[in-house]
Amino acid sequence: MKCVLCNHDSFEDVSQVDIKTSKKLRVSLCHKCGFIQQNPLPTIKELKTYYSHNYRLDYKKAYIPKPKYIHRAGKTALQRYKFMKDSEIDHGTLLDVGSGGGEFVYLMGKLGFNSQGIEPNIGYSDYAKKEYGCHIKIGELNDIDGKYDVITLFHVLEHLSSPTLAFEKLYHSLNPKGVLFIEVPWIEAKDASPHNIMFKAHLFYFSIDTLIACASQYFDAFKIDTGSNLKMFFRAKEKPSTINYPSDRSVENVKKRMRNKGWVEYLFEGKGLQKPMLKIIQGFEEAKVKNDPPKEILNRLLRTIP
């Protein structure tokens, strides 16, 4: 296999098992640029088959999320909004790619954006249209038409067949000075349960430097936040350049991080030990919304914004 980012063909394995199914799944790190990817990468046809059989997505089935998930998604949406607002990104046209149940699109519409979504799952997009009156187009990244001031992709990029091609498409879908907001799982995080990392739906595993490199032909990163996820803002370059690969030192650092990753690190250096308590608090909060209509759950969260 050739590396999707640098075209090099020598790798070291970082995992052999799909953590969700215990089936064999080889995930490898490129020796030259440090990008971590499934090896081999599935073909587009294999991906489609996988999604239609194994993932929670039946692309046509009606979708009705539980109130607790709407509440959770709403809270996450408002954290993402705060992250934007802190950088004075709070108006203009916004497109959420992979908009799911529409919570983010709805809330951003209420908070000053002219917001829309694009979502391949008909059940999800119908739900968002009907429940919140959101403007959602059915489709994937390549079906974006028009140009936007802000484009968001939350936990989408790691599922796509080529991150570099995705950035090219996004570049052409943004207005001049437009902002791209990407969030992906962060492979370097100490705070991520090893149980949730390597599985078939995730084709790519990003470090800070490999995400910057994947975007570097078209975008410059200008704000980075790390927790268990990696959040990054990008601004489009005036014109496309060559790819900026991670330095040798960065590649060595990622290799070292991958060797240290595991349960011991998660429990004692991450926040593994606190998680059960946080879950209990979350359970109390979510029990309160269990009979509420979806829009009311989101509107109530809106009223918590200072």
Q: Which residues contact Zn ion by CB under 5 A? A: 3, 5-6, 8, 30, 32-33, 35
Assess contact for 238 and 171: CB atoms under 8 A.
no
In the complex, the smallest distance separating the C-beta of residue 167 from Zn ion, rounded to whole angstroms, is: 16
In the complex, the smallest distance separating the C-beta of residue 190 from Zn ion, rounded to whole angstroms, is: 24
Measured from the CB atom, the residue of 122 and 243 that comes closer to Zn ion is: 243
DSSP 42-103: PPHHHHHHHHHHHSS--TTS-----HHHHHHHHHHHHHHHHHHHTTT---EEEEEET-TTSH
Measured from the CB atom, the residue of 63 and 167 that comes closer to Zn ion is: 167
Measured from the CB atom, the residue of 31 and 110 that comes closer to Zn ion is: 31
Say if residue 223 is exposed, middle or buried (CB neighbours under 10 Å; 0-12, 13-18, 19+).
middle
Measured from the CB atom, the residue of 173 and 210 that comes closer to Zn ion is: 210
Residues 6+ positions from 237 with CB-CB distance below 8 Å: 171, 218, 219, 220
CA distances to 44, 78, 128, 298 from 304, in Å: 43, 10, 22, 10
In the complex, the smallest distance separating the C-beta of residue 243 from Zn ion, rounded to whole angstroms, is: 10
In the complex, the smallest distance separating the C-beta of residue 8 from Zn ion, rounded to whole angstroms, is: 5
Measured from the CB atom, the residue of 8 and 85 that comes closer to Zn ion is: 8
C-alpha 124/C-alpha 50 separation (Å) is 19
Residue-wise over 168-201: b if at least 16 C-beta within 10 A, else e?
A: ebbbebbeeebbbbbbbbbbbbbbbbbeebbbbb
Measured from the CB atom, the residue of 32 and 300 that comes closer to Zn ion is: 32
In the complex, the smallest distance separating the C-beta of residue 257 from Zn ion, rounded to whole angstroms, is: 16
In the complex, the smallest distance separating the C-beta of residue 12 from Zn ion, rounded to whole angstroms, is: 12
